[in-house]
A and B are shown apart, each in its own frame.
Chain A
Amino acid sequence: MADITAPIEPLPAGTADDGGAGDERIQDIGLIRRLLVRPEIGALIGAIAVWLFFLFFDGKFIEVIGLARFTDQAATLGVMAVFVALLMIGGEFDLSAGVMIGSTGLLLGYITDPNDGAGWSITTGLVITLAFALSIGFLNGMLVTRTKLPSFIITLGTFFALRGANVGITRIITDETRVTGVDDAPDYDFWFDVFSRQVTIAGERFQIQVFWWIGLTIIGTWILMRTKAGNWIFASGGDANAARNMGVPANATKIGLFMGTAFAAWLVGIMRTLESRGMTASGGVGEEFEFIIAAVIGGCLLTGGYGSVIGAALGALIFGMTRTGITFAGWDSEWFFSFLGGMLLFSVFLNNYVRHRAERMGR
């Protein structure tokens, strides 16, 4: 019996078939490996850089008021980014995630508005809207996994269908392009406190949505990094066929992830509707790209199988800081988009580099 624990002799450097990079390859892999293990590193550095940049223009950035403002700006985007990141790591996109915020908010309005709508309680409305959102998510997931078509196209279809219905149905019900009267419901105050109240900490008012965002980031990270489902998400996004061969229920995983983004859209739709006592028919439209961008800045690859929930949350934070910083500095708010574009390109280049190094497969 041989000593099978003896390590196999290392191959002579420079003669291998994988490019023959020589001894320095070992160091090289060490560095890349460390970068790969932490996909959120780019977003962390980015967040610090953006914070320092705006601090240079306005000292409020280091004060509690600055923190309260930019976290308020980031909170609902952050809630979305957590679930969109999970979906992207699972290898799919959801372009209907933005418009679904509008759909759930409007539906809550139709149900609770005593004048044009049914005038039911918010509690009833929450149950019905959640069921509605999860059904749309399930439908998205079923269509994608059954047809094996790109989710980009399927959810683009759902996006347009919902976008049209949001305006059409709202017009029929209210004769306007918004619903109001949500605050007339008897249990409005209770649910407002749960989803949209402000809490005073250190003399500044923070949106409670910030704590929802932080809580969901922690839960999302835990699911991704520490549960069986998390491993399935990585595997389904990395190579769905190989995952299936190893016994991973890849389709169920993906359907669950689509229901996750739908859940987030429901939550954000509720938050915004309660906060502004109504919802416009165009609510959420166009925001789907912001969620994807936040996830990409956070290190998620467009091809799936790799990314971070914390990174996506940091991506949302960068959004919030940029929006707030541009306002504080008194610049035109449209500069936000230029800034966003720059951040996105930089992140994609970084992510692409990371992927190429990691997939340097000598097959």
Chain B
Amino acid sequence: MSAPLLEVDNVSKFFGSVIALNDITTSVNAGEVTCVLGDNGAGKSTFIKILAGVHGPDRGEYRVEGEPVHFGSPREARERGIATVYQDLALMPLMSIWRNFFVGSEPTVGVWPFKRFDTQRAKGIAHDEMAKMGIDIRDVNQPVGTMSGGERQSVAISRAIYFGAKVLILDEPTSALGVRQAGVVLKYIIQARDRGLGVIFITHNPHHAFPVGDRFVILNRGRSLGNFGKDEIGRDELISMMAGGAELEQLTHELESARTDGG
């Protein structure tokens, strides 16, 4: 058994006298989904920032493919294949899908002064990468703003995968969405997992986490309430640990069937 794609071992983060995170341990393997659950203020954002390379941990070890890492910037983390998709998705609603897909990393063709954005290639790649996520977009010229919330998430996810992500960190991808759109995003998470990525799914919703997760970490006020494999915790336990709401049973059933078809 090779080392997990990404693992953190007892990491802690302090801001002055405030203990933002204390002794968090978890891991994600290729082709697995690790869910990080916690209510507001539980330390989820701090945890993402450590993984994404924004902050270094004050204590504990962060390893990528078994090797300890000390990221100085988010760019260094990205270069190691750790891509973070934040809630704002870094998409421009008025720009087309293909333009958004390559913002900041445009492929070019020709020599100066005729060096130009290889738009045909960009369109082709954007279309194909979206197709790999299971989305057949009719027109890559469509502005991102006309897409649904779930579809927009898929643009951000497929873009991260195309640009070399091995581990995908998704910051509350379902929280701003309605029930059905959230369901669509959960399917994308499964797609990414099936393509061999490690996915870290940050959420406050156990109903979204349970059907897709292989591993669960529950944060509460900066502390870990445990790091469980899927067989070590039941849905009800997860919910009661999160003390979350009781609705959305329906969605969970739907996703379980999606998982059986998809997995």
Contact = CB atoms under 8 A, between A and B. Distances in A.
Interface of A: 1-2, 4-8, 11, 15-18, 29, 32-33, 36-37, 222, 225-228, 230-232, 234-235, 238-239, 242-243, 245-248, 301, 305-306, 355, 357-363
A8 B134 contact: yes
Name B's interface SS: loop
A190 to B, nearest CB: 25
Contacts of A7: 134-136
Contact of A359 (B139, B145, B194): B145
A242 B143 contact: no
Contact of B92 (A2, A222, A230, A242): A242
Contacts of B119: 225-226
Nearest to B183: A11
Contacts of A359: 93-94, 145
Contacts of A248: 103-104
Contacts of B89: 242
A301 B95 CA distance: 13
A110 to B, nearest CB: 34
A222 B149 CA distance: 32
A235 B136 CA distance: 25
Nearest to B105: A247
Interface stretch (B32-40, B174-182, B231-239): B174-182
A271 B214 CA distance: 70
B204 interface: no
B184 A11 contact: yes
A228 B104 CA distance: 8
Nearest to B152: A361
Q: Which of B90, B103, B142 gathers most chain A CB within 10 Å?
A: B103
Contacts of B228: none
Contact of A8 (B90, B103, B104, B184): B184
Interface in B106-120: 106, 108, 115-117, 119
A16 B93 contact: no
Q: Which of A4, A8, A222, A359 gathers most chain B CB within 10 Å?
A: A8
A239 B194 contact: no
B104 to A, nearest CB: 3
B195 interface: yes
A246 B156 CA distance: 11
A234 B99 CA distance: 9
23 contacts: A2-B261, A2-B263, A5-B132, A8-B134, A16-B180, A18-B178, A36-B94, A36-B143, A222-B116, A226-B116, A230-B117, A235-B92, A235-B103, A235-B104, A238-B93, A243-B103, A245-B86, A248-B103, A355-B94, A358-B94, A358-B143, A359-B94, A363-B176
Name A's interface SS: loop
Given A4-B194, A7-B135, A247-B104, A242 B141 contact: no
Interface size class of B (residues with CB under 8 A): 35 or more
A228 B117 contact: yes
A305 B92 contact: yes
B117 A227 contact: yes
Nearest to B116: A226
B187 A360 contact: no
Contacts of A357: 146
Contact of B106 (A16, A231, A305, A362): A231
A242 B190 CA distance: 26
Given A16-B148, A246-B90, 16 more contacts: A2-B261, A2-B262, A17-B177, A17-B178, A17-B181, A238-B92, A239-B90, A245-B90, A247-B103, A305-B95, A359-B93, A360-B145, A362-B149, A362-B177, A362-B181, A363-B149
A4 B115 contact: no
Contacts of A5: 131-132, 134
Given A7-B136, A362-B149, A16 B181 contact: yes
Contacts of B117: 226-228, 230-231
B183 to A, nearest CB: 9
A181 B68 CA distance: 74
Contacts of B91: 242
Nearest to A306: B94
B94 A231 contact: no
B184 A29 contact: no
Contact of B195 (A4, A234, A362): A4
Contacts of B115: 227-228
Contact of B141 (A32, A37, A362): A37
A281 to B, nearest CB: 38
